[in-house]
């Protein structure tokens, strides 16, 4: 019953347009997502500069095929053991939580909740328990 209610809520949220992420598709079909909340994009010198919460990411315009709103970030999967290196963590509402040197540090630092974890090459969903 609870799961059914949850499914209904999720469907309702989707029907309302839960477009939480702006996902870019590169020419090689690789996808890159940004939390949509308070996102700003400017275009200069052949590049799209994606700014959010003080962070800036530069994308080469001639490498971009399209963008679209998505309910989930592209390439999201549970954090796996090999996801090491600097880990940038943002909340689901797009607030930057922090950057951690490795997964173990991150796990010790986060309060319970769901987060998006960005590494150099991938974006993950992570649930702190």
Partner 1 sequence: MNTFFTNMTLGTMVRRKALALLMLFAPVSAFVSAQTLNVKVGEVTYAHMAEQTGDMLFDNGSTLTVQGKTYQLAEVTSVTVNNNRVADNTIAVNYQGAKAQVTVAGNLAQHVTVSAVGADVRVVADSTYMGAIAYTLTGSSADGSFYMDGDAKASITLDNLSLTSAKDGAITIDDGKKIDVNLVGTNVLADAATGLQSACLYINGHVDLLGEGTLAIKGNCRHAYSSDEYTRMVSGTLTVESAKADGVHVKQYFEMCGGTLTVNSEGDGIDVGAKKKGCDNNGQLILNGGVVAVTATGEGAKAIKADSTITMTGGTVTGKTTGSAYFDATVNDIGGVSSLKAGGKFLMKGGSLSLTSTGPGAKGINADGDIVIDNGQLSVVTTGDLYVYNALDTKPHAVNTDGTITINGGTLFVAASSVGRALSTDFAFLVNGGTLMGIGGKKSEPTGGTQKYKVYKAQNIKAGATAAYDGVSFTIPAIYNNSKAQVLVSKAGM
Q: Which residues bind partner 1 (CB under 8 A)?
A: 2-3, 5-6, 9-10, 13-14, 16-20, 22, 36-43, 46, 60-69, 92-93, 113-114, 127
39 close to 67: Cβ distance less than 8 angstroms: no
Q: What contacts 76, CB < 8 A, 6 or more positions away?
A: 33, 116, 123, 124, 125
CA distance 43 to 60: 10
* Rounded least distance, CB 101 to partner 1, Å: 27
Nearer to partner 1 by Cβ, of 115 and 120: the residue is 115
Question: Rounded to the nearest whole angstrom, what is the least distance from the CB of residue 6 to partner 1 in the complex?
Answer: 4
By the 8 A CB rule, do 114 and 126 touch? yes
In angstroms, give the least distance from the CB of 121 to partner 1. 22
């Amino acid at each position: 019953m609870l799961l059914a209610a949850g499914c209904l809520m999720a469907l309702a949220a989707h029907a309302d347009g839960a477009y939480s992420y702006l996902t870019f598709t590169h020419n090689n079909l690789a996808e890159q997502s940004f939390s949509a909340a308070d996102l700003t994009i400017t275009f200069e010198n052949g590049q799209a500069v994606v700014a959010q919460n003080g962070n800036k990411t530069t994308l080469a315009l001639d490498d971009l095929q399209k963008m679209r709103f998505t309910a989930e970030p592209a390439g999201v999967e549970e954090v796996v053991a090999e996801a090491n290196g600097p880990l940038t963590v943002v909340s689901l509402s797009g607030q930057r939580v922090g950057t951690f040197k490795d997964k173990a540090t991150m796990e010790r630092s986060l309060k319970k909740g769901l987060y998006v974890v960005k590494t150099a090459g991938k974006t993950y969903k992570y649930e702190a328990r």
